[in-house]
Amino acid sequence: MRVNEKVRKAYEEEYLTGKEEKIRIKELLEKWEIDRNSAIEYATQKGKLEGRKEGKIEGKIEGKKEGKIQGKIIGIKEVAKKMVEDGIDIERVAKITGLKKEEILKD
């Protein structure tokens, strides 16, 4: 606990006199600790909230990228199947598309 050392020393060595002063110092120390704990809790909650927001944004970006990639793959497979259906040799289709023959014939 980081408290003003002069206040702590005064309290501990009883430089201040009177019961009211001691009570007031004790109250101030307790208030300081409560305020400190509140500030830490607030900062923690704020950090978590910001982290969640950033995570959601990154997740959406990653999801869009993944979706685009999957869409391209599906499109290439569809074109490859149509090429084979139109009579183009499957070896040539595989070479052009970069797909394996098994991927072209699948489904």
105 vs 27, 74, 88, 93, CA distance in Å?
Answer: 79, 13, 13, 11
The pLDDT of residue 105: 87
In contact, 33 and 65? CB cutoff 8 Å: no
Residue 25 to residue 82: CA distance in whole angstroms: 85
Give how far the C-alpha of residue 77 lies from the chain's centroid of Cα atoms, to the nearest Å.
35
Which is it for the CA torsion 30, 34, 36, 37, positive or negative?
A: positive
Query: Mean pLDDT in runs of 10 for the chain (107 residues)?
Result: 62 64 86 94 95 94 94 93 94 93 86
The pLDDT of residue 3: 57
